[in-house]
Amino acid sequence: MYKRSLSIKERLLGPSHRDTASCVSNLGLLYLHKKDYDKAESFYKRALNIRQATLGPSHPLVAAEMSHLAELYRIEKKYDKAEPLLEKAMSLYEKKLGINNLDAAMCMLNLGCLYRDEGKLKKAEPLFRRTLGVRERLLGPTHPETLTALKDYSGLLRKLGREKEAKDLDAKFKALKEQSEKEAKTGKQNLKLKTRAVERNLD
């Protein structure tokens, strides 16, 4: 599907059009999931080049493509390639969007994960903490992405030997997870009631 879409956009818009870059980036993600890392890298690099050429070097979408490519390198354990890309992407997000932004928070988390994988736990800690704070503010405490950030932060604190703080976060995670599941169940029940009401009105 992505290949067909890319072929159509290349034919209609040209291979270097900014809208073509989205399809190119999606193909990179597709090959990343297939673990075909060479093809993923090729598409991610192409998407990055298109973004830089059409939007300039400081656009948030350029930062997004840098983050995608860096995450690929992190998965491949090519940390020397991933780190400068993620640090540059984070800098662009902070300048253009500020840190109170979900895209910036995702990049921040990726950089934190990179530092963690490299064993730079003290550098990773504030990034995990800030990511959690952004998601709590923008998504709410029971959102799945917030819960994931909470669990990740707990795990990092445990690696740092901060066991008491990690246990406190584990307890908070459990309580919020239960609350989230209740909210989801209530939402489904309310949806069923609304559906039945509509069906009665149609009869």
Q: Which domain holds residue 104?
A: 57-202
Question: In angstroms, rounded to a whole number, what is the distance separating the alpha carbons of residues 50 and 15?
Answer: 9
Identify whether 145 is part of a domain. yes
Does some domain include residue 22? no
Residue 26 within a domain: no
Instruction: Please name the helix (run of DSSP H) or strand (run of DSSP E) that holds residue 196, with its range, or none.
Output: helix 163-202
Give, as one character, the DSSP assignment of residue 118: T
Instruction: Say what the pLDDT of residue 13 is.
Output: 55
Threshold 0.85, pTM exceeds: no
In a domain, 52, yes or no: no
pLDDT, residue 198, reads 38
In which residue are the tokens 């640090």 written? 87
- The pLDDT value given to residue 22: 87
Q: Please name the helix (run of DSSP H) or strand (run of DSSP E) that holds residue 56, with its range, or none.
A: none
Rounded to whole angstroms, how far apart are CA atoms 65 and 110? Answer: 13
pLDDT averaged per 10 residues in sequence order, the chain, 203 residues: 55 61 90 96 95 93 95 96 96 90 93 96 97 96 95 97 97 95 72 44 44
CA distances (Å), 178 to each of 74, 171, 183, 184, in order?
33, 11, 9, 10
The number of distinct structural domains making up the chain is 1
Q: Are 73 and 85 in contact (CB under 8 A)?
A: yes
Quick check: is 148 in a domain? yes
Q: Is residue 13 part of a domain?
A: no
Is the residue at 14 inside a domain? no
Q: Is residue 18 part of a domain?
A: no
The answer to whether 26 touches 39, Cβ cutoff 8 Å, is: no
pLDDT at 148: 95
Residue 166 pLDDT: 98
Amino acid type, 168: D
The CATH number of the domain where 107 resides is what? 1.25.40.10
